[in-house]
Amino acid sequence: MKEYKLQGLSCANCAAEMESEIRKLDHGDAAQLKFNSSKLVVDEQVNLNKVRQILKSDGASLIETNEHGEKGHHDHNHSHGSNMKMLVFLSSVIFGLTFLLQSYVSGYVLIMMYVAAMALSGYQTFIKGARNLVKLKFNIDTLMTIALVGAVAIGEWREATIVAILFGLNEYLEGLGMEKARNSMEQLLKVAPKQATLILENGSERVVPIESLEENDVVLVKAGEKIPSDGIVIEGFSSVNESAITGESLPVEKASGEKLYGGSINNEGLLKVKITRAYEDSSLAKILHLVEEAQEMKTPTELFINRFAKYYTPAIMLISLLVMVVPPLLFSMEWGSALYQGLAVLIVGCPCALILSSPIAIVSGITKNARNGILVKGGVFLEQLGKIESIAFDKTGTLTKGAPTVQTTRVYDPERFYTIAGSIEKNSSHPIAKAVMAEVNAKNSALKEPSKVEALPGKGIYAEINHAPYFMGSEQTITHLDLSKEQQKDIEFLKEAGYTLVIVSSEEEILGLFGIADEIRNESKSLIKELHLAGIKHTIMLTGDHKKTAEKVAGEIGVTDVYAGLLPEQKVEQVKRLSKGTKLAMVGDGINDAPALATADLGIAMGKGTDSAIETADIVLMQDHLGKLPSSIRIAKQVNRVVKLNISLALGLKLAALLLTIPGWLTLWIAILSDMGATILVTLISLTVMLPKSAVSTSVVNKEADVQVET
């Protein structure tokens, strides 16, 4: 299969018809004409000349690209929009002159001027409509051609000219709106670097296309250049702008050993980078591929509109025929007036505004989210996100940082507590040991080398330091001691508060207690609040931790429901149960979250989580936090509102036009204005999705994990 860029593709209905025609060609049965991204995917064996003819019949042209995606030869139709604008302008000028000259020139001259104005803005429509009429294919071009011929036949030259001019203007505006949405997507896709400076084995440098980079290649990235693919810094220090990937505006400092995203920009230093993924497997390539694919995934609303449009136009044609025939036969109406009214009804049959009510808004919503570092894998998921009522979160690594830290201590022997704890744990790689060592190092305690360290299964650790025995671990390590009331009270308090308890003791007494917990992300509390403000009714925490710990975290951040002590399979069962009563999204970051993400109505993964969670999820947040989740929900809700409003306007204006036939007030120019007005309105309203929001929005600074509220 090969992909081609298309020019001049402005009508969604026409695009569907052209795809159907191309699929009838030899080797064309798998062809896909992607209207939203203006691309054609066909088998390489298909006859391109025949494809070009099909496209040309509807005013589109095909642009061939080479293997690097660069434009090659193509039909010269770059200025389709500009030409249409100029033709409509000239038509309007000529039409205006007819008003100035109608008292000074003969009727034949005026007719010639009307014909000239009509031809300039409507000749393409007329030619396409005539071809379709021969094939008995009824689309907007066919309807407009019949209306123009009918108007001329009954001598309505002025009306026919107005219809031609307004339809030309309508086509131009329709194409312009879709092109603006496509351009916003094109700008997003331009973040991909084109070349890289490869360091060869002999130390020399060579500029190569990024497609040729392989894993373990070493590249040089100068200040201002883009990182060519995912990699690791092996030499140098700099700050890097990762906004193209994560949507975060603040630069991130990178030193040796730090990971880099392809497509991010090196701000000032010189970096030597070892490539860890070939470009096609990089984060940026996946993002761009997902965004492009997302444009073409039809939402349930779009599928319904397309099905509705198939019946709508034939129904309007039948109504038009009845308007032409029934009033003269039953109500003694003049045949000329009835024919005129029927032609006007025929124009109302154009489904373009209705079909256009969804795609521009969907593309705008996907693009805006992508710019914020939120990957929505399809319009169907964007629509679903706007309908979500409840969100379930995995606790560890999502609402919390996923790394235990010492939250509180109780010290009974200050001279020995930190020294003994650090001496026992200094060589351990256990997460709790690391948490203890971070606290010990903060106290600058002098550590000693144990002469003996022994694990006590299910209890903790036994160690001998300076020939004295010490214990560190759970309550099981202090069963030989008599505790004071203060010590018993402290232990019970820390347990009730949900902390993991680590006790340090000698053979005679307790030296102190560590209260350890997974640290809550700084943004979690305000995140939950923002989600509730965004319309989420229930926020739910799912965790494998014990109940006290889960309730402690839930109480601090404000989630509405908590389910603790869950195994991965139990999380899935819980998600299934919760999904029965509400539209539920599941948010997670680990491999054990993947089944639950797939089970929920909508799966949302954090981008710095595991590949399996990202692959399973329907929406990916490329940041290492959830701070932008509320804004993505607001965008999705806005898109859903816009689509509903567009459909109402498109159908409402047409219904109003049809009702004007009852008193006989419907004219050709009112009919075309109803369609044109609907097209302009749905286009402009859809493009408002791209506008920056002035309302309160939440953005999380990843570097410091602080919450900033912008107004």
Name the band, by pLDDT with cuts 50, 70 and 90, for residue 683.
confident
Beta-strand relationship, 205-209 and 195-199:
antiparallel
With 90 as the cut, is the pLDDT of residue 630 above it? Answer: yes
Do 442 and 501 share a structural domain? yes
Q: Which of 242, 276, 310 is the last residue of a domain?
A: 276
With 70 as the cut, is the pLDDT of residue 552 above it? Answer: yes
- Average pLDDT value for residue range 289-300: 66
Give the integer Cα–Cα distance in Å for 93 and 49: 38
- Average pLDDT value for residue range 450-473: 89
With 70 as the cut, is the pLDDT of residue 14 above it? Answer: yes
Domain with residue 435: its CATH number is 3.40.1110.10
Considering the domain boundaries, does residue 551 fall inside one?
A: no
Q: What is the pLDDT of residue 78?
A: 41
Please write the tens of the pLDDT for every residue from 453-462: 898 877 889 9
CA angle at 188 for the pair 183 and 192, rounded to the nearest 5°: 125
Do 344 and 263 share a structural domain? no
Q: What is the pLDDT of residue 694?
A: 39
Q: What is the pLDDT of residue 547?
A: 80
**Which residues 6+ apart lie within 8 Å of 637 measured at CB?**
386, 534, 535
Considering the domain boundaries, does residue 255 fall inside one?
A: yes
CA distances from 546 to 412, 500, 564, 666 (A): 28, 10, 6, 71
Of residues 585 and 549, more confidence is placed in 585
- Average pLDDT of the residues of the chain: 81
Two structure tokens written together for 487? 């010590």
Two structure tokens written together for 107? 């009727």
Q: What is the pLDDT of residue 36?
A: 67
Do 114 and 72 share a structural domain? no
With 50 as the cut, is the pLDDT of residue 707 above it? Answer: no
- Average pLDDT value for residue range 363-368: 86
Considering the domain boundaries, does residue 414 fall inside one?
A: yes
Q: Helix or strand or coil: residue 559?
A: coil
- Average pLDDT value for residue range 338-354: 79
Percent with pLDDT over 90 in the chain: 23
Please write the tens of the pLDDT for every residue from 484-534: 999 999 999 988 887 888 999 999 999 999 998 888 888 889 999 999 999
Do 74 and 85 share a structural domain? no
With 50 as the cut, is the pLDDT of residue 66 above it? Answer: no
Do 71 and 146 share a structural domain? no
Residue 257 CB burial class (10 angstroms; 0-12, 13-18, ≥19): exposed
Considering the domain boundaries, does residue 327 fall inside one?
A: yes
Considering the domain boundaries, does residue 629 fall inside one?
A: no
Of residues 333 and 180, more confidence is placed in 333
Nearest one of 416, 341, 375 to 671, comparing CA atoms = 341
**Which residues 6+ apart lie within 8 Å of 694 measured at CB?**
none
Do 200 and 173 share a structural domain? no
Give the integer Cα–Cα distance in Å for 55 and 73: 16
Q: What is the pLDDT of residue 71?
A: 44
Do 52 and 173 share a structural domain? no
With 80 as the cut, is the pLDDT of residue 174 above it? Answer: no
Q: What is the pLDDT of residue 291?
A: 64
**Domains in the chain, number:** 4
How many CB atoms are closer than 10 A to CB 417? 23
With 60 as the cut, is the pLDDT of residue 390 above it? Answer: yes
Strands across the sheet containing 218-221: 205-209, 195-199, 218-221, 271-275, 231-235, 259-260
With 60 as the cut, is the pLDDT of residue 705 above it? Answer: no
Do 353 and 303 share a structural domain? yes
Do 269 and 318 share a structural domain? no
Q: Which residue's entry shows tokens 């006007």?
A: 344
Of the ranges 381-390, 587-596, 623-632, 690-699, the best mean pLDDT one: 381-390
CA max distance for the chain: 122
Of the listed ranges 283-297, 317-331, 371-385, 627-641, the one predicted with least confidence: 283-297
CA distances from 138 to 135, 256, 303, 314 (A): 9, 65, 20, 8
Q: Which of 21, 46, 78 is the last residue of a domain?
A: 78
Considering the domain boundaries, does residue 614 fall inside one?
A: no
Name the band, by pLDDT with cuts 50, 70 and 90, for residue 67.
very low
Nearest one of 206, 222, 203 to 271, comparing CA atoms = 222
With 50 as the cut, is the pLDDT of residue 73 above it? Answer: no
Of the listed ranges 286-300, 328-342, 536-550, 686-700, the one predicted with least confidence: 686-700
Of residues 218 and 612, more confidence is placed in 218
N- to C-terminal Cα separation, the chain: 48
Q: Which residue's entry shows tokens 């123009």?
A: 148
Considering the domain boundaries, does residue 55 fall inside one?
A: yes
- Average pLDDT value for residue range 675-700: 69
Considering the domain boundaries, does residue 405 fall inside one?
A: yes
Domain with residue 54: its CATH number is 3.30.70.100
Q: What is the pLDDT of residue 164?
A: 82
Q: Helix or strand or coil: residue 36?
A: coil
Do 265 and 304 share a structural domain? no
Q: What is the pLDDT of residue 444?
A: 81
Q: Could you list the active site residues?
A: 394
Q: Determine the structural domain holding residue 419 and report its residue range.
A: 401-519
How many CB atoms are closer than 10 A to CB 218? 16
Q: What is the pLDDT of residue 651?
A: 86
Domain with residue 272: its CATH number is 2.70.150.10
Give the integer Cα–Cα distance in Å for 549 and 495: 9
Q: Which residue's entry shows tokens 């925490």?
A: 541
- Average pLDDT value for residue range 392-401: 84
Do 514 and 406 share a structural domain? yes
Handedness of CA 311, 313, 317, 320 (dihedral sign): positive
With 90 as the cut, is the pLDDT of residue 130 above it? Answer: no
Give the integer Cα–Cα distance in Å for 445 and 259: 33
Give the integer Cα–Cα distance in Å for 526 and 540: 15
Q: Which of 31, 61, 78 is the last residue of a domain?
A: 78
Q: What is the pLDDT of residue 101?
A: 85
Q: What is the pLDDT of residue 629?
A: 92
Contact at 8 Å (CB) between 575 and 586?
A: yes
Do 57 and 178 share a structural domain? no
Beta-strand relationship, 510-520 and 400-411:
antiparallel
Q: What is the pLDDT of residue 134?
A: 80
Please write the tens of the pLDDT for every residue from 229-274: 889 999 999 989 887 677 666 788 899 999 898 888 898 889 999 9
Percent with pLDDT over 70 in the chain: 85
Q: What is the pLDDT of residue 503?
A: 94
CA angle at 106 for the pair 102 and 107, rounded to the nearest 5°: 80
With 90 as the cut, is the pLDDT of residue 124 above it? Answer: no
Name the band, by pLDDT with cuts 50, 70 and 90, for residue 184.
low
Of the listed ranges 57-61, 108-112, 537-541, the one predicted with least confidence: 57-61
With 50 as the cut, is the pLDDT of residue 536 above it? Answer: yes
With 60 as the cut, is the pLDDT of residue 698 above it? Answer: no
